[in-house]
Structures are given as C-alpha cells and as structure tokens.
Amino acid sequence: MNYFKASWAAMGAALLVAACGGGGDGNQTPRVAFTSMVSFGDSLSDVGTYRVGPIAAAGGGRFTVNPGVVTTPTIWTEYVALQIGLTSCAARSGGFGSAEKPVSGCRNYAQGGARVQNPKGVGNSVGVGFIAGPLTEPVVTQLANYAADNGSENFTDKQLVTVLAGANDIFGLTDQLKLDATAAGNAAFAQSLVGQFVAGAPAANQAAALGAIGLAVQTEAAKPAATATSIVGAAALAAGTHAAMNGYSNSAVANAAAIGAAAGAAAVTAGNTYAATTGAGIAVAGMATAGTTLAGYVRDKIVAKGAKYVAVSNLPDVSLTPSAASDPSTQPLVKAMTVAFNKALQDGLASTPGVIMIDAFANLQDQVANPARYNLTNVTTPSCAIASSLTCTSATLIAGDTSRYLFADGVHPTPYVHKLQAQLVATYLAKAGWL
C-alpha cells in the first residue's frame, strides 16, 4: 500500500507541474563540437572575397542579393557555420583593382568565378596574379592558400570542411566550345568560299586560282575588322583579278552574293556539327575530368590530411538556371556536362571515409519542378535588375516582391534559396550524426 500511496502522490505532483508547463529550445548543441569551418569553391560559397573597392562601394561582395548589413548571413556557408556556433568569413580579399591579401582568422577560401584547377576563371582571362577583376583562384590554389595560412596542409578532426565547385568549369568549357565552333564554322566558310570561286575558273587555271583566292581569303579573315561580306568581297576580287591577269573568265565572280550565302550556310552547318559532336564531346569529357580532379583534391588534400568531416556538394542542375535556359540549343549540353561532373565527383569519392555527398542537383530540380514545396514564387526570372548579382542589393531589384525568387541573377540563387541550401546541407550533416 505504501508503494501506491507514493505513486498517487507523484501523479498529483505531475498534474500540478503539467498545468504550468511550457515549451523550450531543447538541446541546441551539435553532436560534434566543431572548432572551425573551412570552405572551398566558387561564388556559391564565396562570402565576400571581392568586397573591396568599387564592389564594396556599391554595397556588393556576395553573389546574391547583398544584404544592407554586411554581417547578415546570406550565403549557405554562413548559415551552416552559425548553426554550429562558428562564422564563415572570406579568407582572401582583393580583386577588382585591389591587391590580394589574406584575412586573419577567416577560413572561407571560396572565390567567385573559380574553377577546379584552371586559374582562368570566369571574368579572368589572364590567370594567376590577375587582380583587375575577379581573382578566381581555383580550388587547388585555395587549398594552397589554406596551407599557407594554417602553416601546414593538415586539417584537424574538429573541422567541418565544405567543397562546392565545378560550375565555372561549365562556363569556361562552353565558352571554349563556342570559340572552337566558331573557328570550325570560319574554316568551313573559307573552304566553301574558295572552292566555289575556284570552280568558276577553267580547269586549267584552277590550281593557280586556288593559291591566289586562298591567300586573299586568309589575309582578309586575319584582319580584326573582317566580316563575312568583306571576306566574300576579297575572294571575288582575287578571283576576278587572277582571271584578268591570266586571260580567262571566272564565271563565279558574277555570283559572289549567292556563293557567299552558300558559304555562310556551310559555316553554320559546320559550326553546329562541331558543337554537337566533337565540341560537345570535349566539353563533357572536360567536366568529367574536372569532377575527377576535384574528387582527387578532396581525397588527397583534405581527407588524407586529417579532415574527418567533409561535406561535398555536387553541382546543382546548371541547365535550369536562367542563363542556360536562355539558350535552348546548348541547354541539353549544359545538363550533360553537369551530370558528367557530378558522376565523376561521386565516383571519385565513393566510400571515402568522412565525406558526405550533398545532392544539390536533385534538390534544384525539385525546387524548379515543385516551387510550392519550397515557398518559391518564381523559378525562372532573376530578381536582380543588373546582370551580375555581385553588386546586387535591394536597390537594384526588379519591381515586386522577389523575396521568394529562386534566382538572383542568371546563375546565382537568392539569399532565400541559400537558406534552403543550408537546410539541405544540415539534413545531411544531421543524418551523418554531425549536427
């Protein structure tokens, strides 16, 4: 009986406690006591490398809608760092006219425009040492920067390392593809043009005419101001001149306009064919190489150097960005390049201890396919009225409520979507038992 009496008393007390119960925060401490967070990558992780000179003066520095107060978290790396009781601040400062300098105590090495290995990032046609625009130091250099700041290449077992790069390799490789396709088109144009004009000469004169017309086309095409019309004109002139000097008649000269049009069509066909076949193959293979290279950096320069907590994000589906969508002819290629990179990255990091792979690719696809799930009001239109979000602020937004837009500019997400990305990353960290 005594036992039950005690029990009832306890229950009565519980009822009294219950009456004045209230909610609480619970345990907010992460399961792993991280001492620092180190980030490598590009503009998607950059928290203000270029917040200098004219960029800072314009209120910019991050590749999104920049907040009015610089310390306001805006990029996913900042949200994640705050969640584990740390901060994410740019480890390098410079570019856009300012010399590069390290920022003491800061460990976010990501730089807008940066590629995996190639120092010629987006906006940097010079490469190493370029400070007139974005520094775009690639991930491999960012790792060297870390080693220099840290006094050692080593990581500790209490650091959270984040890696997200590769998008600028898409832009670099597609830019190269466009150049190569144009070159292929130009070559086809010249070949078609010369061939047609040579065909207008009598058979006996064709070999000599070929030399003269070919030289004229080559010479004109090499001029910076050359146009298709000027090249056609140069070819027609050379054909006519060669005929007059050698006492024959070239029937093609009178048809110069039609010949030019035919050559132009041949050029377009050749350019497109190159872009769709050889060029596309090179671009996709280039992305696979970049993915493999990045995976190698993570394995050899991060995990092998002691890091135990490494979060690697794959590339979001870049083909869904407004920039890619604006060119439907290359959109499938951009997707193929993204997929090739992600597969190589995934394969290269399979079962690497301490590495979790964050599927940003599928997440962006779901955001675009089902915007309501994420409270997104627009998944196609950039919210910034200016081309690059690097200097975008609330003062340079398009009209209307853009707070739940997906994109800030042609390729970068809004702060709202950065927060969603942080939540996605947090999900993976929590599932791994790190949060």
Partner 1 sequence: MKYQLKFIAVAAAALMAGSVCAQSAGTWMVRGGATTVAPVGPSENLSAPSLYIPGTSTGSQTTSASSTQLAGGITYMLTNNVSLDLPLALPFHHKLYGAGALEGIGQIGEVQALPMTLFVQYRFLEANAKFRPYVGLGATYAYFFNEQGSGVLTALTNPGGAPTKLSVDSKFILTPEIGATLALDSQWFLDVFYSKARLKTKTTLSTGQTVDAALDPASYGIAIGYKF
293 DSSP 8-state letter: H
289: which residues sit within 8 A by CB, 6+ positions away? 344
> 186 or 423: whose CB is closer to partner 1?
423
Q: Which of 160, 148, 146 is nearest to 36 (CA)?
A: 160
Query: What is each CA distance from 201 to 159, 230, 236, 250, in whole angstroms?
Result: 75, 21, 12, 5
> 28 or 351: whose CB is closer to partner 1?
28
CB of 369 to partner 1, least distance (A): 9
> 372 or 399: whose CB is closer to partner 1?
372
Task: By CB under 8 A, name the binding residues for partner 1.
Answer: 1, 3-4, 7-8, 10-11, 14-15, 17-18, 21-30, 73, 78-83, 359, 362-363, 365-366, 370, 372-375, 419-420, 422-424, 426-427, 429-431, 433, 435
Rounded to whole angstroms, the Cα distance separating 206 from 263 reads 19
Structure tokens at 239: 């054909």
> 78 or 169: whose CB is closer to partner 1?
78
CB of 383 to partner 1, least distance (A): 17
CB of 5 to partner 1, least distance (A): 10
Q: Which of 424, 428, 419, 356 is nearest to 82 (CA)?
A: 419
CB of 1 to partner 1, least distance (A): 8
CB of 401 to partner 1, least distance (A): 16
CA torsion angle 176 96 65 80 (round to 10): 90
As a whole number of Å, the end-to-end CA separation of the chain is: 47
> 240 or 413: whose CB is closer to partner 1?
413
> 48 or 260: whose CB is closer to partner 1?
48
> 76 or 96: whose CB is closer to partner 1?
76
Structure tokens at 278: 């050889």
CB of 89 to partner 1, least distance (A): 14
281: which residues sit within 8 A by CB, 6+ positions away? none
Q: Is residue 208 packed enough to be buried (19+ CB in 10 Å), middle (13-18) or exposed (0-12)?
A: middle
